[in-house]
Amino acid sequence: MGTRAADAGGMVFLKPEVKLEPLLCGWYAWTHLISPVQHAMNVTYRQLPLLQSFVTNPAIHFAASKDPSLFAGPFVDLERDQLNDAKALLADMQRRCAMLIRMAKDIREQDTQLQNGAKGYSLSDFYRGLPETLAGLVEFNYDINNHPRLRFYEELIYDEHERDGLSQIMLSRVEERNRTFFMSTPRLKKNGDVLLQLPFSSEKLDMLSASRTEPQSLDEMSAALGVSKEGRPTFECLFTTEAPTRAHSSSAGEVRVRYFGHACVLLQAGGVSILVDPMVAFEEAHEDNRFVYADLPNHIDYVVLSHNHQDHCAPEILLQLRHRIGQILVPSCNAGNICDPSIELALHYLGFRNVRSMRAFDVVEFRVGRITSLPFPGEHVDLDIHSRHGIYIEIAGRRFSFLVDSDGSDPLLFRRIARRIGRELDALFIGMECHGAPLTWLYGPLLTRPISRRDDESRRLSGLDSQRAWNILQEFDSRKIFVYAMGQEPWLRYIMGLEYTPDSVQLKEMEALLARCHEAGREAEYLYVSRDMQF
């Protein structure tokens, strides 16, 4: 950025390569950290053990971080000169997260007592022994087979645990390919980074986010964000006077569909824009013709989130879109279930007030169409998780269905769905991550008792293989079929932890499905990086 513009506090844009990461006590804030019960369990049973292992025996972590095959494993990917900073973060977490740690330990202890002591008799006595961290915040009950369960009043727990003091915004120029895995490595400040102490709900963040595409006053941003005089030069280096290049808007009278990578699709028609599962790149000037954040419209009428996994519901992206969004549509949750935190409550914590939870076949109507919530089976490792839905969108006379990461184990479900919404579609989008990570990779810290390796390996975050996908396709008459959500775009490694080879089963199954479609005369393709279409 020109010195003169900086000295004058001129109108500037945030550089496209700058990452804006929300942090909670130094860790990348994904949805299971936004929700307080799940945050407590992850701090206590994932983050602290990882950091303790790193500071106790860093050599193991240094060696593992150099092995690409271990990228998403339980290893801290920090440099040798960051060891003292990691020790300081460990001590800071133990102090500042003390109440969360205490709650997590009490949850495990109470659930152990419940599972060992509740055999069908009244549960009233269990309330008498509740510790302060849980008293008035939980409920004990049985299912119809007398299996005891501990449920949470999630709304009250948000009130009880005020965590704004733990929230930060990290501004850095780390390249996409060098971003460390979100779940195993904390974000420690380096030279050139700016760390802002800011609640996620703060409207000041909207000004910073808006500067990605609309010029903002550098002086006003610095003052609003509390940038010190000493920190001002570093802050200025994150901005430029050059406006980003942006894609043109939708053509009149047609439905424009743009694929932004992974499971992110933008539909535009009749002055209405709908964004499904925002997960976008920021860096420009790539030869892969990607769409980036700057290519999104200034106003997005609806954002639809399919489920509560980090690659479909990303606080980092959502916070930067908050000032552009009309309404967010999310699936309803299994209220109080430790494995199924409410997306709606998490979004409220992020400063959104325009959120609507939907049950299966709920409909939101708009000027030129409607959005319908669909059942979304599978991919959640057989846990009793409700916060997931497929999406059916009618817009300007066109019909699109997004079945996301459904595993298709029961094809008759899709026959019944087709009876509801109709067989004919203009486009059907499906995911084919057919051999995902085991249960404990994502949900391990939330389990209150151990699971056997055999059971863990059998319960995977898996979607469709070629046969199950074919079974679903037989239930719909779709003009075009798109396979997505393979997570191979170069900017997604830090959040997906995936890097397939040509021999990977996921790619082989995708190729088998495409070949079968082509043999049957059905138009099908694998989406990668970007695609711009008119319907």
Tokens of 175: 């390249």
Type and span of the H or E element at 351:
none
Segment 50-79 mean pLDDT:
96
Does the pLDDT at position 517 exceed 90? yes
Domain region containing 501: 256-530
Does the pLDDT at position 386 exceed 80? yes
Looking at the structure of the chain, the number of domains it has is 1
Is the CB of residue 489 less than 8 Å from the CB of residue 261?
yes
Is the CB of residue 148 less than 8 Å from the CB of residue 115?
yes
Is the residue at 231 inside a domain?
A: no
5 band by pLDDT with thresholds 50, 70 and 90: very low
Beta pairing class for 325-331 and 355-358: parallel
Does the pLDDT at position 285 exceed 80? no
User: What is residue 249's predicted lDDT score, i.e. its pLDDT?
Assistant: 64
284 band by pLDDT with thresholds 50, 70 and 90: confident
Does the pLDDT at position 184 exceed 70? yes
With a pLDDT cut of 70, the percent of the chain lying above it is 97
pLDDT, tens digit, 9 for 90 and up, residues 395-410: 999 999 999 999 999 9
Does the pLDDT at position 366 exceed 60? yes
Is the residue at 186 inside a domain?
A: no
Segment 420-431 mean pLDDT:
97
Tokens of 471: 């079974």
Residue 132 DSSP code: T
Does the pLDDT at position 495 exceed 80? yes
Is the residue at 198 inside a domain?
A: no
Is the residue at 189 inside a domain?
A: no
Is the residue at 123 inside a domain?
A: no
Token pair 């769905």: residue: 417
User: What is residue 485's predicted lDDT score, i.e. its pLDDT?
Assistant: 72
Whole-number Å distance between alpha carbons of 423 and 413: 13
Segment 128-136 mean pLDDT:
95
Single pTM value for the model: 0.96
Count other C-beta atoms under 10 Å from residue 59's C-beta.
8
Tokens of 126: 């269990």
Q: In this structure, what CATH number is given to the domain that contains residue 490?
A: 3.60.15.10
Is the residue at 508 inside a domain?
A: yes
Beta pairing class for 477-484 and 424-431: parallel
Listing DSSP states for 314-334 in one string gives -HHHHHHHGGGEEEEEEE---
Does the pLDDT at position 251 exceed 70? no
Tokens of 460: 């995977």
Query: Chain-wide mean pLDDT for the chain?
Result: 95
Does the pLDDT at position 136 exceed 70? yes
Question: Between residues 13 and 251, which one has the greater pLDDT?
Answer: 13
pLDDT, tens digit, 9 for 90 and up, residues 453-494: 999 999 999 999 999 999 999 999 999 999 997 889 999 999
User: What is residue 457's predicted lDDT score, i.e. its pLDDT?
Assistant: 96
User: What is residue 327's predicted lDDT score, i.e. its pLDDT?
Assistant: 98
2 band by pLDDT with thresholds 50, 70 and 90: very low
pLDDT, tens digit, 9 for 90 and up, residues 94-122: 999 999 999 999 999 999 999 999 999 99
The amino acid at 160:
E
Whole-number Å distance between alpha carbons of 282 and 295: 10
Residue 281 DSSP code: B
Is the residue at 281 inside a domain?
A: yes
User: What is residue 9's predicted lDDT score, i.e. its pLDDT?
Assistant: 65
Strand, coil or helix: 303: strand
162 band by pLDDT with thresholds 50, 70 and 90: confident
Is the residue at 412 inside a domain?
A: yes
